[in-house]
Structure 1
């Protein structure tokens, strides 16, 4: 049994690359409330639950299809129980992600764990809720999902599945092919720790040549999170797609009104000094049509519509939607409305970029659905391994120091690399400079008050040069030891790879293997939905 993990928290608004809209969402929701329907608090989600109108026939059909899907994924008893609860009237806490190889970046799991945690909290507060993960495989960009970055003792390795079917259809339906066998073997061979065998077996059982990107990820998540009751949903199911037919028809028929409302919303965001995530043109319809294997936008051209090189009348497209709805899908602004037509969604667990999208999506929600779920930030996490922890301790650094960027990190490491006696001498020297210049303040003020500005300027320049000398001395000391470059690279790769948060690059599976299966449960319990805190997991 491993020792309990230690968790620390950093306000998410203090993380690098945080947009002004997301910072306002986290720190002052009232300032952005006009762009969303409900606050990200438990009370806001409970209020959203009161607005759900979900036909019994739709509920029965969706639960039936989800039973079939989750049985195929091998989800188990906890999921079957939650499907019973969904059938009996529970609401849904939904999240999802694209179908990246081996689950892709770690935040795929953080989204799922946040949904699980929020559903538990809602249920405990009196609103029965279940967590649902949307396996987003409608897109056609295979290059977005055919790889992951695998951390190990050797550093960070890009694993890419080159042999997957080179077809132009939805990535969710693309078969993995024989090349996945060697890739699974390579990934599993790098796993270490108490759960290495379990995670390796889960990979081998999930990622086999005949599986698709959707079914493989579904099987993997079912093995790792099924015991927590996470329901999986594959939207490429033809029966589920048929339930979205009315949404597609209205998006087509009312495209002009929707476009105008979206442009007005974009203007309102800009007026508040925020950035509109999606540019909406006058010809857009929010719809894609998959023709001859290509997913193409449907554009309005006068009284007709263009799809690639083809031109159609409105009635032609309406008949196609009614006949083969599986060929149609929504863009980033319509997809959430399709999702919330299929499900009794009260909260969507979103990343920072998605949260910004929803400032525009809310217009579409209210127009087509008459309601909108609460948008709740996903958990944001940095995991500190034993080696990174030793380096942080050696250089007296925090994770926040590493997230400050390479220049700041280097400066702190160089300063700490100095011998203690020399550090004390530099500190004494800096203090002596300050005291000497302070001693001149009184006489200069009596002589000519205008000289005080020159004194402050001189003090700033002298201290800057003195501190630069200290950094150079630290650099020289570290180079003599021959370790600084190596340690800086190791820390950055482990905690802030390529200037990005760890969760956006590292696959989580090696961490699960090294920390044990209890890790997922402990991490879930550390999540505080709606708080906006970044979790630092220490060894």
Structure 2
């Protein structure tokens, strides 16, 4: 074995012995008996499961839906002022007020330090798609929905960071279990610890000072959700991204009609979820969600 190859093998072997070290490897591909869900989605096999096929962007752009546009824009304008949104985000609010405006919506749990990297990928993808579809006659605005109503604290109270030594470090934050995470207070001590940990991991890195200043500025508020929103807007606000907090009372009131429908017929949405899961099971994919016959999707 050549010396270079021997050294690479030695590094890979040591890395595999240490679960803290990230290692890339190539795994032989095996043809699945049932196509993957992602392939079926992209290939159009699941189009009949949607009111509008995912690939039919033109139909989605012209679909008419009831919307309380003025109230929504007013609520988002107030929230973005609190979060310190910059000019591009404020411009997106003006575009959203256009009577023909549409949105590209993505979202994720409000993980500590923005959580997993696919949170960033989702935001970047929404921005890219909105830019491609945007026209003066029909503005298209990218929107990030913060899942502030989520209660799964153990999925959001930490972040994994990769140091320069290629070792993973877990940073955790103290959040009480029970209430919606969006209502949780942000402990300044957790912010100080995160900033110190990032300094230790990044050392004298090229962007260390910028990252430290970003975190200090974004997390100066009292609520965890506000810190998340500020971080997202500092990173993506200049690209026109808007952020929505469904726990904001001025936003939450806009879902009143949906909640009233759930109260009037509490089994309707659960039945729809069960039916969709059964259709997936018939095609070879186990359903990821399920609701009991008497279940409701209304949480109090």
Q: Same fold (TM over 0.5)?
A: yes
- Counterpart CA distance in 2 for 1:16 and 1:99 is 36
Q: 1:16 to 1:279 in 2, by over 3 A?
A: farther
Q: 1:255 to 1:109 in 2, by over 3 A?
A: same
- Counterpart CA distance in 1 for 2:79 and 2:31 is 39
**TM-score, normalised on structure 1?**
0.47
Determine if contact 2:107/2:144 at 8 Å carries over to the other structure.
Answer: yes
Q: SS of the counterpart of 1:245? A: helix
Tell me which of 243, 248, 251 is aligned to 1:237: 248
User: What is residue 74 of structure 1 aligned with on the other side?
Assistant: 84
User: 1:254: Cα distance to partner?
Assistant: 1.7
User: 1:127: Cα distance to partner?
Assistant: 3.8
- Counterpart CA distance in 2 for 1:156 and 1:113 is 24
Q: Deviations over 1:258-297 (max 9, x none)?
A: 33343333222222222211112111111111xxxxxxxx
Give unmatched runs, 5+ long, in structure 2: 1-28
Determine if contact 1:147/1:159 at 8 Å carries over to the other structure.
Answer: yes
User: 1:19: Cα distance to partner?
Assistant: 7.2
User: What is residue 182 of structure 2 aligned with on the other side?
Assistant: 172
User: What is residue 169 of structure 2 aligned with on the other side?
Assistant: 157
Give unmatched runs, 5+ long, in structure 1: 1-13, 290-539
User: 1:87: Cα distance to partner?
Assistant: 0.5
Q: Deviations over 1:436-487 (max 9, x none)?
A: xxxxxxxxxxxxxxxxxxxxxxxxxxxxxxxxxxxxxxxxxxxxxxxxxxxx
Determine if contact 1:184/1:207 at 8 Å carries over to the other structure.
Answer: no
Determine if contact 2:273/2:289 at 8 Å carries over to the other structure.
Answer: no
User: What is residue 217 of structure 2 aligned with on the other side?
Assistant: 205
Determine if contact 2:161/2:171 at 8 Å carries over to the other structure.
Answer: yes
Determine if contact 1:100/1:213 at 8 Å carries over to the other structure.
Answer: no
Determine if contact 1:135/1:232 at 8 Å carries over to the other structure.
Answer: yes
Q: 1:169 to 1:36 in 2, by over 3 A?
A: same
Tell me which of 172, 186, 194 is aligned to 1:183: 194
Q: Deviations over 1:416-439 (max 9, x none)?
A: xxxxxxxxxxxxxxxxxxxxxxxx
Q: 1:279 to 1:20 in 2, by over 3 A?
A: same
User: What is residue 93 of structure 1 aligned with on the other side?
Assistant: 104
After superposition, residues 8-87 of structure 1 pair within 5 angstroms as 20-26=36-42, 28-29=43-44, 31-41=45-55, 44-55=56-67, 58-87=68-97
- Counterpart CA distance in 2 for 1:19 and 1:240 is 40
Determine if contact 1:38/1:48 at 8 Å carries over to the other structure.
Answer: yes
User: 1:153: Cα distance to partner?
Assistant: 1.4
Q: 1:277 to 1:62 in 2, by over 3 A?
A: same
Q: Deviations over 1:170-195 (max 9, x none)?
A: 10111121321122222244335433
User: Is 1:222 paired with 2:218?
Assistant: no
Structure with the bigger percentage of helix: 1
Q: SS of the counterpart of 2:286? A: coil
Determine if contact 2:47/2:54 at 8 Å carries over to the other structure.
Answer: no
User: What is residue 208 of structure 2 aligned with on the other side?
Assistant: 196
User: Is 1:258 paired with 2:274?
Assistant: no
User: 1:196: Cα distance to partner?
Assistant: 2.7
Q: SS of the counterpart of 2:297? A: strand
Q: SS of the counterpart of 2:52? A: coil
Q: What stretches of structure 1 move > 6 A for 4+ residues in a row?
A: 14-19
Q: 1:261 to 1:204 in 2, by over 3 A?
A: closer
Structure with the bigger percentage of strand: 1
User: Is 1:114 paired with 2:128?
Assistant: no
- Counterpart CA distance in 2 for 1:113 and 1:134 is 13
TM-align CA RMSD: 2.4
Q: 1:256 to 1:127 in 2, by over 3 A?
A: same
Q: 1:193 to 1:84 in 2, by over 3 A?
A: same
Determine if contact 1:21/1:275 at 8 Å carries over to the other structure.
Answer: no
Q: Larger relative contact order (C-alpha < 8 A, sep ≥ 6)?
A: 1
Q: SS of the counterpart of 1:159? A: strand
Q: SS of the counterpart of 1:69? A: helix
Count of aligned pairs: 267
After superposition, residues 290-439 of structure 1 pair within 5 angstroms as none
Larger deviation, residues 225-234 vs 125-134: 125-134
